[in-house]
Structure 1
Amino acid sequence: MDFKFSKKEKLKSKKLIDQLFAEGKSVTAFPLKLIYLRSQLPENVQVQAGVAVPKKNIKSAVNRNRIKRLMRENYRLNKHQVFNNSEGSFAFLFLYLGKKMPSFTEIESAMGKTLSKFLRAEGLKSEKINPK
Protein backbone atom coordinates (compact mmCIF):
# COMPACT_ATOMS: atom_id res chain seq x y z
CA MET A 1 0.00 0.00 0.00
CA ASP A 2 1.30 3.44 -0.95
CA PHE A 3 1.15 5.87 1.98
CA LYS A 4 2.73 8.80 0.15
CA PHE A 5 1.12 12.18 -0.46
CA SER A 6 3.01 13.21 -3.58
CA LYS A 7 3.11 16.59 -5.28
CA LYS A 8 0.75 15.34 -8.03
CA GLU A 9 -1.91 14.54 -5.41
CA LYS A 10 -1.92 18.05 -3.91
CA LEU A 11 -4.73 20.39 -4.92
CA LYS A 12 -3.14 23.65 -6.06
CA SER A 13 -5.16 24.87 -9.04
CA LYS A 14 -6.95 28.12 -8.17
CA LYS A 15 -9.53 27.44 -10.91
CA LEU A 16 -10.30 24.01 -9.49
CA ILE A 17 -10.51 25.34 -5.91
CA ASP A 18 -12.94 28.08 -7.02
CA GLN A 19 -14.97 25.47 -8.92
CA LEU A 20 -15.03 23.29 -5.78
CA PHE A 21 -16.61 26.08 -3.73
CA ALA A 22 -19.06 26.94 -6.53
CA GLU A 23 -20.20 23.46 -7.63
CA GLY A 24 -18.83 21.00 -5.07
CA LYS A 25 -20.85 18.72 -2.80
CA SER A 26 -19.94 18.28 0.83
CA VAL A 27 -20.03 15.84 3.73
CA THR A 28 -19.31 16.74 7.35
CA ALA A 29 -18.07 14.82 10.37
CA PHE A 30 -17.28 17.46 12.96
CA PRO A 31 -14.67 18.99 13.10
CA LEU A 32 -13.93 18.20 9.43
CA LYS A 33 -15.87 19.08 6.31
CA LEU A 34 -15.01 17.55 2.96
CA ILE A 35 -15.93 19.48 -0.18
CA TYR A 36 -15.54 17.29 -3.25
CA LEU A 37 -16.11 17.47 -6.96
CA ARG A 38 -15.83 14.84 -9.67
CA SER A 39 -13.47 16.34 -12.24
CA GLN A 40 -10.93 15.62 -14.91
CA LEU A 41 -7.53 16.00 -13.30
CA PRO A 42 -4.55 16.90 -15.48
CA GLU A 43 -2.12 14.29 -14.13
CA ASN A 44 -3.03 10.63 -14.05
CA VAL A 45 -4.06 10.75 -10.39
CA GLN A 46 -7.36 9.65 -8.91
CA VAL A 47 -7.67 12.32 -6.22
CA GLN A 48 -6.15 15.73 -5.62
CA ALA A 49 -6.60 16.95 -2.06
CA GLY A 50 -6.06 20.16 -0.16
CA VAL A 51 -6.57 21.27 3.45
CA ALA A 52 -7.72 24.58 4.88
CA VAL A 53 -8.09 26.04 8.37
CA PRO A 54 -9.99 29.37 8.56
CA LYS A 55 -8.21 32.25 10.25
CA LYS A 56 -11.59 33.28 11.68
CA ASN A 57 -11.69 30.20 13.94
CA ILE A 58 -7.99 29.68 14.70
CA LYS A 59 -6.17 32.98 15.14
CA SER A 60 -2.63 31.69 15.63
CA ALA A 61 -0.76 30.82 12.42
CA VAL A 62 1.33 28.27 14.33
CA ASN A 63 -1.82 26.42 15.43
CA ARG A 64 -3.39 26.64 11.93
CA ASN A 65 -0.26 25.11 10.43
CA ARG A 66 -0.23 22.33 13.02
CA ILE A 67 -3.88 21.47 12.31
CA LYS A 68 -3.18 21.43 8.56
CA ARG A 69 -0.23 19.11 9.16
CA LEU A 70 -2.44 16.77 11.23
CA MET A 71 -5.11 16.78 8.51
CA ARG A 72 -2.60 16.01 5.73
CA GLU A 73 -1.05 13.21 7.80
CA ASN A 74 -4.44 11.61 8.49
CA TYR A 75 -5.52 11.92 4.87
CA ARG A 76 -2.26 10.27 3.81
CA LEU A 77 -2.90 7.34 6.18
CA ASN A 78 -6.58 6.93 5.20
CA LYS A 79 -6.64 7.75 1.49
CA HIS A 80 -6.41 4.06 0.55
CA GLN A 81 -10.16 3.80 1.31
CA VAL A 82 -10.98 6.20 -1.49
CA PHE A 83 -8.40 4.83 -3.92
CA ASN A 84 -9.54 1.22 -3.43
CA ASN A 85 -13.28 1.90 -3.55
CA SER A 86 -13.93 4.64 -6.11
CA GLU A 87 -13.81 5.04 -9.84
CA GLY A 88 -13.18 8.35 -11.56
CA SER A 89 -11.17 11.30 -10.35
CA PHE A 90 -12.07 13.77 -7.63
CA ALA A 91 -10.86 17.04 -6.17
CA PHE A 92 -11.03 17.15 -2.36
CA LEU A 93 -10.80 20.06 0.04
CA PHE A 94 -10.81 19.34 3.76
CA LEU A 95 -11.95 22.25 5.95
CA TYR A 96 -11.40 22.37 9.70
CA LEU A 97 -14.57 23.66 11.42
CA GLY A 98 -13.54 23.50 15.09
CA LYS A 99 -12.50 26.40 17.27
CA LYS A 100 -9.93 24.61 19.47
CA MET A 101 -6.74 22.65 18.91
CA PRO A 102 -7.60 19.00 18.12
CA SER A 103 -5.60 15.91 19.02
CA PHE A 104 -4.31 13.45 16.42
CA THR A 105 -6.97 10.88 17.41
CA GLU A 106 -9.83 13.40 17.05
CA ILE A 107 -8.71 14.25 13.52
CA GLU A 108 -8.12 10.55 12.76
CA SER A 109 -11.65 9.51 13.72
CA ALA A 110 -13.21 12.52 11.93
CA MET A 111 -11.18 11.76 8.77
CA GLY A 112 -12.32 8.14 8.79
CA LYS A 113 -15.97 9.16 9.23
CA THR A 114 -15.72 11.86 6.56
CA LEU A 115 -14.22 9.52 3.96
CA SER A 116 -16.80 6.82 4.78
CA LYS A 117 -19.62 9.38 4.36
CA PHE A 118 -18.09 10.45 1.04
CA LEU A 119 -18.09 6.86 -0.22
CA ARG A 120 -21.71 6.39 0.90
CA ALA A 121 -22.77 9.69 -0.70
CA GLU A 122 -21.20 8.63 -3.98
CA GLY A 123 -22.87 5.23 -3.70
CA LEU A 124 -19.57 3.40 -3.50
CA LYS A 125 -18.73 0.45 -1.32
CA SER A 126 -16.76 1.37 1.77
CA GLU A 127 -14.59 -0.74 3.98
CA LYS A 128 -15.19 0.02 7.62
CA ILE A 129 -12.47 1.92 9.45
CA ASN A 130 -11.99 1.36 13.10
CA PRO A 131 -10.89 4.58 14.80
CA LYS A 132 -8.80 3.78 17.85
Structure 2
Amino acid sequence: MTDTPLYTFNKQEKLKSRKLLEALFANGKTFLVFPVKVLYMVVEEPLDFPVKVGVGASSKKFKRAMDRNRIKRLLRENYRLQKQPLHHFTTAHNKQVAVFLMYIDKALPDNKLLQKKMPMLIDKLITALGENNTVAH
Protein backbone atom coordinates (compact mmCIF):
# COMPACT_ATOMS: atom_id res chain seq x y z
CA MET A 1 0.00 0.00 0.00
CA THR A 2 1.31 3.47 -0.88
CA ASP A 3 0.92 6.68 1.08
CA THR A 4 -0.52 8.65 -1.82
CA PRO A 5 -4.24 8.12 -1.02
CA LEU A 6 -3.64 9.60 2.44
CA TYR A 7 -2.77 12.98 0.94
CA THR A 8 -6.19 13.52 -0.55
CA PHE A 9 -9.01 15.71 0.67
CA ASN A 10 -12.04 14.19 -0.97
CA LYS A 11 -15.79 14.66 -0.73
CA GLN A 12 -16.25 12.25 2.22
CA GLU A 13 -13.79 14.27 4.33
CA LYS A 14 -15.56 17.61 3.85
CA LEU A 15 -17.87 18.80 6.60
CA LYS A 16 -21.02 19.74 4.72
CA SER A 17 -23.93 18.46 6.79
CA ARG A 18 -25.96 21.42 8.06
CA LYS A 19 -27.10 19.40 11.07
CA LEU A 20 -23.52 18.50 11.99
CA LEU A 21 -22.29 22.07 11.43
CA GLU A 22 -25.04 23.53 13.63
CA ALA A 23 -24.30 20.99 16.37
CA LEU A 24 -20.58 21.76 16.11
CA PHE A 25 -21.09 25.52 16.47
CA ALA A 26 -23.59 25.03 19.30
CA ASN A 27 -21.87 22.32 21.37
CA GLY A 28 -18.32 22.03 20.05
CA LYS A 29 -15.19 22.79 22.05
CA THR A 30 -12.70 25.38 20.81
CA PHE A 31 -9.05 26.25 21.09
CA LEU A 32 -6.79 28.70 19.34
CA VAL A 33 -3.54 28.27 17.46
CA PHE A 34 -3.28 31.80 16.16
CA PRO A 35 -4.29 32.67 13.41
CA VAL A 36 -6.62 29.65 13.31
CA LYS A 37 -9.48 28.98 15.70
CA VAL A 38 -10.42 25.30 15.89
CA LEU A 39 -13.91 24.06 16.73
CA TYR A 40 -14.16 20.32 17.27
CA MET A 41 -16.64 17.78 18.52
CA VAL A 42 -16.59 14.01 18.91
CA VAL A 43 -19.51 12.65 16.91
CA GLU A 44 -21.47 9.68 18.24
CA GLU A 45 -23.61 8.74 15.22
CA PRO A 46 -21.76 6.92 12.42
CA LEU A 47 -20.11 9.05 9.75
CA ASP A 48 -18.82 7.93 6.36
CA PHE A 49 -15.34 9.17 7.31
CA PRO A 50 -13.60 9.35 10.74
CA VAL A 51 -12.65 13.05 10.45
CA LYS A 52 -14.92 15.61 8.81
CA VAL A 53 -13.27 19.01 8.26
CA GLY A 54 -14.66 22.38 7.26
CA VAL A 55 -12.80 25.64 6.73
CA GLY A 56 -13.89 29.26 6.86
CA ALA A 57 -12.90 32.90 6.89
CA SER A 58 -14.93 35.86 8.11
CA SER A 59 -16.66 37.99 5.50
CA LYS A 60 -16.55 40.85 8.01
CA LYS A 61 -12.75 40.87 8.01
CA PHE A 62 -12.31 39.88 4.35
CA LYS A 63 -14.80 41.73 2.18
CA ARG A 64 -13.61 40.22 -1.10
CA ALA A 65 -14.69 36.65 -1.83
CA MET A 66 -11.38 36.20 -3.66
CA ASP A 67 -9.50 36.70 -0.37
CA ARG A 68 -11.81 34.39 1.60
CA ASN A 69 -11.48 31.69 -1.05
CA ARG A 70 -7.69 31.99 -1.00
CA ILE A 71 -7.63 31.61 2.81
CA LYS A 72 -9.90 28.56 2.65
CA ARG A 73 -7.78 27.04 -0.12
CA LEU A 74 -4.60 27.51 1.95
CA LEU A 75 -6.23 26.01 5.06
CA ARG A 76 -7.50 22.99 3.13
CA GLU A 77 -4.17 22.45 1.41
CA ASN A 78 -2.14 22.61 4.63
CA TYR A 79 -4.59 20.31 6.41
CA ARG A 80 -4.48 17.85 3.50
CA LEU A 81 -0.69 17.60 3.64
CA GLN A 82 -0.44 17.26 7.42
CA LYS A 83 -3.53 15.33 8.51
CA GLN A 84 -1.93 11.87 8.91
CA PRO A 85 -1.36 11.95 12.71
CA LEU A 86 -5.00 12.94 13.30
CA HIS A 87 -6.31 10.17 11.06
CA HIS A 88 -4.06 7.59 12.72
CA PHE A 89 -5.25 8.72 16.16
CA THR A 90 -8.97 8.65 15.29
CA THR A 91 -8.79 5.21 13.65
CA ALA A 92 -6.66 3.78 16.49
CA HIS A 93 -9.08 5.07 19.14
CA ASN A 94 -12.19 4.35 17.05
CA LYS A 95 -13.36 7.97 17.22
CA GLN A 96 -15.26 10.16 14.80
CA VAL A 97 -14.61 13.88 14.87
CA ALA A 98 -16.10 16.96 13.25
CA VAL A 99 -13.58 19.82 12.97
CA PHE A 100 -13.95 23.37 11.70
CA LEU A 101 -10.87 25.53 11.03
CA MET A 102 -11.64 29.24 11.15
CA TYR A 103 -9.09 31.83 10.10
CA ILE A 104 -9.39 34.77 12.50
CA ASP A 105 -6.48 37.12 11.74
CA LYS A 106 -7.16 40.45 10.01
CA ALA A 107 -4.34 40.10 7.47
CA LEU A 108 -4.14 37.62 4.61
CA PRO A 109 -2.19 34.52 5.68
CA ASP A 110 1.24 33.55 4.50
CA ASN A 111 1.45 29.93 3.38
CA LYS A 112 4.69 29.43 5.35
CA LEU A 113 2.95 30.54 8.56
CA LEU A 114 0.10 28.09 8.01
CA GLN A 115 2.58 25.30 7.19
CA LYS A 116 4.25 25.96 10.53
CA LYS A 117 1.00 26.24 12.54
CA MET A 118 -0.93 23.28 11.09
CA PRO A 119 1.16 20.52 12.79
CA MET A 120 0.87 22.40 16.10
CA LEU A 121 -2.87 22.67 15.59
CA ILE A 122 -3.25 18.96 14.78
CA ASP A 123 -1.09 17.95 17.80
CA LYS A 124 -3.22 20.13 20.07
CA LEU A 125 -6.39 18.60 18.64
CA ILE A 126 -5.07 15.07 19.21
CA THR A 127 -4.14 16.00 22.79
CA ALA A 128 -7.62 17.44 23.39
CA LEU A 129 -9.28 14.34 21.95
CA GLY A 130 -7.02 12.15 24.08
CA GLU A 131 -8.09 14.03 27.23
CA ASN A 132 -11.74 13.50 26.30
CA ASN A 133 -10.97 9.81 25.98
CA THR A 134 -9.71 9.51 29.57
CA VAL A 135 -12.64 11.50 31.03
CA ALA A 136 -15.28 9.38 29.28
CA HIS A 137 -14.02 6.05 30.67
Residue 41 of structure 1 deviates from its aligned partner by: 4.0
| Counterpart pick for 1:76 among 80, 88, 97 | 80
Q: Distance in 2 between matches of 1:84 and 1:94?
A: 19
| Counterpart pick for 1:108 among 103, 115, 118 | 115
Gap regions ≥5 residues in structure 2: 132-137
Aligned residues: 123
Shift >6 Å, 4+ stretches:
none
Structure exhibiting the larger radius of gyration computed from Cα positions: 2
Q: CA RMSD in A?
A: 1.2
Q: Distance in 2 between matches of 1:41 and 1:111?
A: 27
Please give the TM-score of this superposition, normalised by the length of structure 2: 0.85
Residue 105 of structure 1 deviates from its aligned partner by: 1.0
Query: Is the counterpart of residue 24 in structure 1 residue 28 in structure 2?
Result: yes
Identity %: 37
Please give the TM-score of this superposition, normalised by the length of structure 1: 0.88
Q: Distance in 2 between matches of 1:59 and 1:114?
A: 26
Residue 84 of structure 1 deviates from its aligned partner by: 1.3
State the partner residue of 1:42.
47
| Counterpart pick for 1:99 among 92, 103, 106 | 106
Indicate the structure with greater helix content: 2
